[in-house]
């Protein structure tokens, strides 16, 4: 009789204990769910912060690059003012151009009636003396600049001296006595890329960013062509576009390590281990306590 009672009681206690053993398991599951939720929220917040910072840097360095290009455009503006003040005549072109040369400038040119007549430096650039208006590759965009009175930037293209360049062509007009404006020609500067962006590129790289700078291939074409970049595939970059002359430029920026930093994985892993270890300790303590209770009960039955 006592054996039946003890057996029934043991089965009852065993069932109760087994049922209670699920409590730590549920605690572990709930803890992991909460941990994952916190991790996802923290990751999203951190990603938004990184992206906002990248957007700010994209705007900042796009403005720097814009200022870099303006330095080249200013050279054409200076020669435009000289042409206008001298009523279409430029004396001592080479001397003036020499004083305006910079490391990022391949050459400075003037093209009365659209025909390149003077180039500085001339050595190595002799083949540049061409009729821009009727040239196969340059004619359409040169006519566009002339007819619309806008500064155009053609390129990037390969320079015969090596490297890449962009041609900045500024149409110049002279006002006649009757008030009519007539086309005089172009003042031109050939910019070396990426030389002109050297400081901006270095800063972007030092701050841990991959980048790509692109420009539309023509004022009437929205297709972009890469001017220069860090050489990696851009994954979900932040972009900033700006207009200069009659060209659209676009700067793309992304962190070198991507938007999800590796340390986040380590942090999440550490949190998981801590949560699992805490629940395992609780589980072991609970099992030990239950085993002790069973032992005491068994002794009492006997």
205-264 confidence digits (pLDDT tens): 999 999 999 999 999 998 999 999 998 999 999 999 999 888 999 999 999 988 865 555
> Rounded distance, CA 133 to CA 136, Å?
9
At residue 115, the 3 state secondary structure works out as strand
Q: What is the DSSP letter of 117?
A: -
Confidence (pLDDT) at 211: 95
151-210 confidence digits (pLDDT tens): 999 989 998 878 899 999 999 999 988 889 999 999 999 999 999 998 898 999 999 999
Question: 223-247: b or e for each residue (b if 16 or more CB lie within 10 Å)?
Answer: ebeebbbbeeeeeebbebeeebbbb
Region of residue 236 (left: phi > 0; alpha: psi -120 to 50; beta: else): left
Domain ranges for the chain, please list them: 48-255
Q: Would you say residue 49 has pLDDT above 80?
A: yes
- The two tokens of residue 301 are 């039955």
Region of residue 94 (left: phi > 0; alpha: psi -120 to 50; beta: else): alpha
pTM greater than 0.75 (yes/no): no
Q: Which residues neighbour 263 within 8 Å (Cβ) at sequence distance 6 or greater?
A: none
Q: What is the DSSP letter of 191?
A: E
- Domain 48-255 is of which CATH architecture? 2-Layer Sandwich (3.30)
- The two tokens of residue 247 are 């060209």
Q: Would you say residue 32 has pLDDT above 70?
A: no
Full 3-state SS string of 251-273: EEEEECCCCCCHHHHHHHHHHHH
> Rounded distance, CA 238 to CA 189, Å?
31
Confidence (pLDDT) at 133: 96
């Amino acid at each position: 009789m006592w054996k039946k009672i003890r057996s029934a009681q043991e089965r009852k206690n065993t069932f109760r204990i087994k049922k209670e053993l699920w409590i730590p398991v549920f605690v572990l599951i709930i803890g992991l769910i909460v941990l994952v939720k916190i991790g996802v929220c923290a990751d999203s917040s951190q990603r938004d912060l990184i992206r906002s910072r990248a957007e700010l840097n994209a705007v900042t360095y796009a403005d720097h690059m814009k200022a870099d290009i303006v330095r080249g455009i200013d050279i054409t503006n200076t020669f435009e003012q000289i042409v206008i003040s001298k009523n279409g005549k430029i004396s001592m072109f080479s001397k003036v151009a020499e004083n305006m040369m910079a490391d990022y400038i391949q050459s400075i040119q003037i093209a009365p009636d659209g025909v390149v007549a003077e180039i500085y430096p001339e050595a190595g650039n002799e083949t540049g003396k061409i009729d821009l208006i009727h040239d196969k590759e340059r004619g359409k965009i040169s006519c566009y600049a002339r007819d619309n009175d806008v500064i155009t930037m053609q390129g990037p293209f390969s320079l015969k001296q090596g490297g890449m360049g962009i041609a900045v062509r500024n149409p110049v007009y002279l006002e006649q006595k009757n008030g009519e404006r007539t086309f005089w020609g172009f003042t031109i500067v050939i910019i070396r890329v990426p030389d002109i962006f050297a400081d901006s590129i270095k800063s972007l790289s030092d701050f841990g960013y991959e980048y790509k700078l692109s420009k539309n291939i023509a004022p009437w074409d929205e297709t972009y062509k890469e001017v220069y970049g860090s050489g990696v595939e851009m994954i979900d970059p932040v972009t900033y576009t700006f207009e200069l002359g009659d060209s659209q430029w676009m700067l793309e920026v992304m962190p070198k390590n991507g938007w999800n930093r590796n340390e986040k994985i380590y942090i999440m892993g550490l949190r998981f281990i801590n949560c699992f270890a805490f629940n395992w300790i609780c589980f072991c303590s609970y099992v030990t306590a239950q085993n002790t209770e069973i032992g005491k009960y068994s002794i009492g039955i006997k």
